[in-house]
Amino acid sequence: MRRLVALILLSMLLPLQAGADEANVQGFDSLQEEQRYRDLTSELRCPKCQNQNIADSNAPIAKDMRDRVYRMMQDGASNEDIVGALVDRFGEFVRYKPEVDRRTILLWATPAIAVGVGLLAVAGIVIRSRRRNGQKTVLTAEEQARADRLLSDKDRE
């Protein structure tokens, strides 16, 4: 009996925990909207706590930014509008994924350039070693005979 009471009491605590989540507090019309809110706030960076996204950060400015995201969503803004509105105010910095433009092209292209240079280096090494091997396989008749002799000697042993 006592166990049952404890279980009931515990189960009453469960919804309290779920309710502590801010997204639930704010309320969304659908699960998709809530997911969209989570995605947006997790890919926007807090300008105050620079290594946190605005979903994680407790900074007052992160809260203001979350509120703005939420309000713009309620007003029917698209993801680009929302991110754009925050970038206009806080700068490109708030994007965890910066747009490709003149300033960021090197950032985006560096992995491709590194892979390209690596491939070129590997190709160079392979081609050169092939060429060297090709030269080596050409033996004079005398060398060939000597090689055959040595190899057959070895077989006999």
| Binding-site member from 68, 77, 79, 95 for other proteins (CB under 8 A) | 68
For the record, the structure tokens of 106 come out as 């090197």
CA distance 82 to 68: 8
- Of 60-68, 95-103, 131-139, 144-152, the window that binds other proteins (rule: CB under 8 A) is 60-68
- Of 3-11, 19-27, 45-53, 133-141, the window that binds other proteins (rule: CB under 8 A) is 45-53
**Are the C-beta atoms of residues 93 and 47 closer than 8 Å to each other?**
yes
**Cβ nearer to other proteins, comparing 15 with 124:** 124
**Are the C-beta atoms of residues 74 and 34 closer than 8 Å to each other?**
no
| Binding-site member from 92, 99, 143, 148 for other proteins (CB under 8 A) | 92
Kindly state the DSSP code that residue 20 receives in the 8-state scheme. T
Q: Is 60 in the site for other proteins (CB under 8 A)?
A: yes
User: Which letter, b or e, does each residue of 47-65 get, where b requires 16 or more Cβ atoms within 10 Å of its Cβ?
Assistant: beeeeebbbebeeeebeeb
The footprint of other proteins on this chain (CB under 8 A) covers a number of residues equal to: 15
| Side-chain-side CA neighbours of residue 99 (13 Å) | 9
| Binding-site member from 71, 89, 146, 149 for other proteins (CB under 8 A) | 89
CA distance 3 to 130: 78
Q: Is 95 in the site for other proteins (CB under 8 A)?
A: no
- Of 3-11, 35-43, 89-97, 103-111, the window that binds other proteins (rule: CB under 8 A) is 89-97
Positions that interact with other proteins (CB under 8 A): 47-48, 50, 59-61, 64, 68, 87-93
